[in-house]
Amino acid sequence: MKPSRFAAAVIATVLAFAAAATPAHAAGTLTMLGADVSSLQRTLDLGGKYYNASGAAANPYDILKSAGVNYARLRIWNNPASGYNNKAKVLQQAKAIKAKGLKLLIDFHYSDTWADPGKQYTPAAWANHSISQLGTDVYNYTYDVCTALKSQGTTPDSIQVGNEINVGMLWPKGQVVSNNFAPLATLLKQGYNAVKACNSATQVWVHVADADSMANMRWFYDGIKSQGVPWDVTALSYYCMWHGTLANLYNVIADARTRYGKPVVIAETAYQFTTADADSEKNSIPGTVLCDNIPATFAGQAQQFTWVQNTARNAGAVGVFYWEPTWYAIKGNGWDPANINGTGDGWDNMAIFDWNGRVNPNIRWTP
**Beta carbons within 8 Å of 189's beta carbon, 6+ residues apart:** 135, 228, 229, 230
75 and 38 Cβ atoms separated by less than 8 Å:
yes
Q: Which residues pair with 108 in a beta bridge?
A: 76, 161
Q: Considering only CA atoms, which of 362, 353, 288, 356 is closest in space to residue 35?
A: 353
Which is the catalytic residue, given 107, 112, 212, 268?
268
**Residue 160: helix, strand or coil by DSSP?**
strand
Q: What angle do helix axes 5-21 and 246-260 make, rounded to 10 degrees?
A: 100
Neighbour count for residue 314 (Cβ, 10 Å): 23
Cα–Cα distances (Å) from 298 to 261, 267, 367, in that order, read: 37, 22, 21
The Cα–Cα gap between 135 and 186 comes to 6
Active-site entry in 107, 112, 157, 164: 164
User: What is the number of other CB atoms lying within 10 angstroms of the CB of residue 151?
Assistant: 10
φ and ψ at residue 51, rounded to 5 degrees: -130, 140
3-state secondary structure 281-312: CCCCCCCCCCCCCCCCCHHHHHHHHHHHHHHH
From residue 236, give the alpha-carbon distance in Å to each of 37, 65, 77, 160, 281.
18, 23, 20, 11, 27
Distance linking the first and last C-alpha atoms of the chain? 39
- Asked if 268 is an active-site residue, the reply is yes
How far is the C-alpha of 249 from the C-alpha of 37, rounded, in Å? 24
Which stretches within the chain are classed as H helix? 5-21, 40-45, 60-66, 87-99, 131-151, 182-198, 214-226, 240-243, 246-260, 298-315
Q: Please confirm, yes or no, whether 164 is among the known catalytic residues.
A: yes
Residues with active-site annotation: 164, 268
